[in-house]
Structures are given as C-alpha cells and as structure tokens.
Amino acid sequence: NAGVMQNPRHLVRRRGQEARLRCSPMKGHSHVYWYRQLPEEGLKFMVYLQKENIIDESGMPKERFSAEFPKEGPSILRIQQVVRGDSAAYFCASSQFGGTNSEQYFGPGTRLTVT
C-alpha cells in the first residue's frame, strides 16, 4: 500500500517561472492538505481540499498561489512567477475522512529552490 506520493522531490526554478507540485494521496483517501516549511521555520498550513473542492485556503498567500484536486489525478499546488522567498519544502498530507479526528499522513515533500 503506497503512501502519499509527491513529485518532483526537488524542483529548481528561476525567478518568474511557474512551479507545479503534485501530490497523490494514499489509496482510499479523498482529503488532501498542503503545508509549507520555510528554512529554519516550522510547518505552516496552506490549504485543505477534497475532490473538486477547496475546503479551507486560509493559509494560502493571496497572490500567485493556487491549488486544485480534480476528480481524476493528483492534487496540484501551483506557484506562478516564483520569487526567492518561495524557496521551501512543500509537504502534502492526506486523510481518509474529513472529520477533525482523522489522522493525516504526510508525503516526502517537494523541495523548491528559486534561483
């Protein structure tokens, strides 16, 4: 039973380019969460999605960032016109249920470097 899959594991982008990060949840999980870990900082929640719905995006920067979880395929976190401050590790987690007692399982992360 594969865990949460994220790709790519490492991504290098120049300033102004777009970054696309992919997350495939665990089998049977329909709830996906994205978190960001900036250098020397803790993990911060970004967005919570169910299939085809954004449930909570209170942690997403207002500009340049978007997320989707289509009916088919992985969840995508998209960062447009990247800047150096976007360099971070981006983690995806999934859960089977959406209730607050549902345990979240994390992927290995995508490490984004903006040059």
Partner 1 sequence: KQEVTQIPAALSVPEGENLVLNCSFTDSAIYNLQWFRQDPGKGLTSLLLIQSSQREQTSGRLNASLDKSSGRSTLYIAASQPGDSATYLCAVVNNNAGNMLTFGGGTRLMVKP
Binding site for partner 1 (CB under 8 A): 4, 6, 31, 33, 35, 41-45, 48, 55-56, 58-59, 91, 93, 95, 98-109, 111
CB of 33 to partner 1, least distance (A): 7
CB of 42 to partner 1, least distance (A): 5
Question: Please, which residue, 28 or 72, has the CB nearer to partner 1?
Answer: 28
Question: Please, which residue, 80 or 102, has the CB nearer to partner 1?
Answer: 102
Both structure tokens of 100? 């607050």
Spatial separation of the C-alpha atoms in residues 110 and 58, rounded to whole Å: 21
- What residues have CB less than 8 Å from 23, skipping those under 6 apart? 4, 5, 6, 32, 34, 74, 75, 76, 77, 92, 94, 107
Question: Please, which residue, 15 or 51, has the CB nearer to partner 1?
Answer: 51
CB of 81 to partner 1, least distance (A): 26
Spatial separation of the C-alpha atoms in residues 30 and 49, rounded to whole Å: 8
